[in-house]
Structure 1
Amino acid sequence: MRWLPVLYVVVLLLLEPVTPVQWPVSFALIALPLVTAFAHGPVVVAGTAAFAVFMEGILAGTACCAGRSVGYLWDRHYVASYVCTALVGALGTIVAAHRIRRERTLADVRFVADIAQRVLLRPVPHRIGSLHLESLYLSAAAEARIGGDLFEAVPTRYGVRLLIGDVRGKGLLAVETAAALLGAFREAAHDEGALPALADRVETSMARRATHLGGSEVAERFVTAVFVEIPADTPLIHVVNCGHPPPIRIRSGEVRELDRGRSAPPLNLGMLLGEPYHVDDYSFLPGDQLLLYTDGITETRDATGAFYPLLQRLRSWGVLPPWVLLERLHHDLLDFSGDRLADDIAALAVRLPADQPPVPPPTPVG
Structure 2
Amino acid sequence: MDAARRCVTGEAGDSDPVTGTRYQRWRPPRICGRGYAWLLPSLTLVGIALLDFNTGAQYRFVSWVVLVPGIASAVCGVWTTAGFAVLSLVTYVLVDNAWPDQYRAGLPDFLLVALGGVLAVFAAVVRTRRERRVLHMQDIAETTVRAVLRPLPRRWAGVEQAGVYLAADVEAQVGGDFYDIQPGPYGTRVLVGDVQGKGLGAVEAAAALLGSFREAGYFEEDLRTVAEHLETRIVRHRMHTAVVGSQDGERFATAVLAAFSREAPGMVDIINFGHEAPLAVGPGGVRELPCGDGVPLGLSDLTGGLPPTHRVPLGPDETLLLVTDGVTEARDRKGEFYDVVRDVGEAVAADPACAEPGRLVRRVRDGVLRHSRGQLADDTTAFAVRRLPEDEECPGLPLLPAAAEAQRLPGWGRGWGAWGVRKTSEGG
1:308 aligns with 2:342: no
- In the alignment, what sits opposite 1:117? 145
Query: Contact 1:165–1:294 at 8 Å: present in 2 too?
Result: yes
1:237 aligns with 2:268: yes
1:295 aligns with 2:315: no
- In the alignment, what sits opposite 1:193? 221
SS in 1 for 2:338: coil
Query: Contact 2:177–2:324 at 8 Å: present in 1 too?
Result: yes
Aligned residues: 348
Task: Please report how far the alpha carbon of residue 102 of structure 1 lies from its aligned counterpart in structure 2 after TM superposition.
Answer: 2.0
Task: Please report how far the alpha carbon of residue 168 of structure 1 lies from its aligned counterpart in structure 2 after TM superposition.
Answer: 1.8
Q: 1:337 to 1:83 in 2, by over 3 A?
A: farther
1:155 aligns with 2:183: yes
Alpha-carbon distance between aligned partners in 2 of 1:94 and 1:299, rounded to the nearest angstrom: 47
One-letter code of the match for 1:205? Answer: R
Alpha-carbon distance between aligned partners in 1 of 2:375 and 2:60, rounded to the nearest angstrom: 44
- In the alignment, what sits opposite 2:61? 25
1:92 aligns with 2:120: yes
One-letter code of the match for 1:352? Answer: R
Alpha-carbon distance between aligned partners in 2 of 1:134 and 1:313, rounded to the nearest angstrom: 18
- In the alignment, what sits opposite 1:130? 158
Query: Contact 2:254–2:273 at 8 Å: present in 1 too?
Result: yes
Identity of aligned residues (%): 34
Alpha-carbon distance between aligned partners in 2 of 1:160 and 1:300, rounded to the nearest angstrom: 31
Matches within 5 A, 1:1-366: 2=37, 3-13=39-49, 15-17=51-53, 19=55, 21-63=57-99, 71-73=102-104, 75=105, 78-214=106-242, 215=245, 220-234=250-264, 235-260=266-291, 262-302=292-332, 305-318=335-348, 319-320=353-354, 321-353=356-388
SS in 1 for 2:75: coil
Task: Please report how far the alpha carbon of residue 158 of structure 1 lies from its aligned counterpart in structure 2 after TM superposition.
Answer: 2.9
Question: In terms of Rg, which structure is larger?
Answer: 1
Alpha-carbon distance between aligned partners in 2 of 1:337 and 1:82, rounded to the nearest angstrom: 54
Alpha-carbon distance between aligned partners in 2 of 1:216 and 1:172, rounded to the nearest angstrom: 11
Q: 1:216 to 1:99 in 2, by over 3 A?
A: closer
- Using the TM superposition, name which of 224-233 and 53-62 deviates more: 53-62
Q: 1:70 to 1:334 in 2, by over 3 A?
A: farther
SS in 1 for 2:103: coil
SS in 1 for 2:317: coil
Query: Contact 2:57–2:103 at 8 Å: present in 1 too?
Result: no
TM-score by length of 1: 0.84
Question: What is the CA RMSD across the aligned residues, in angstroms?
Answer: 2.8
- In the alignment, what sits opposite 1:361? none
Q: 1:45 to 1:245 in 2, by over 3 A?
A: same
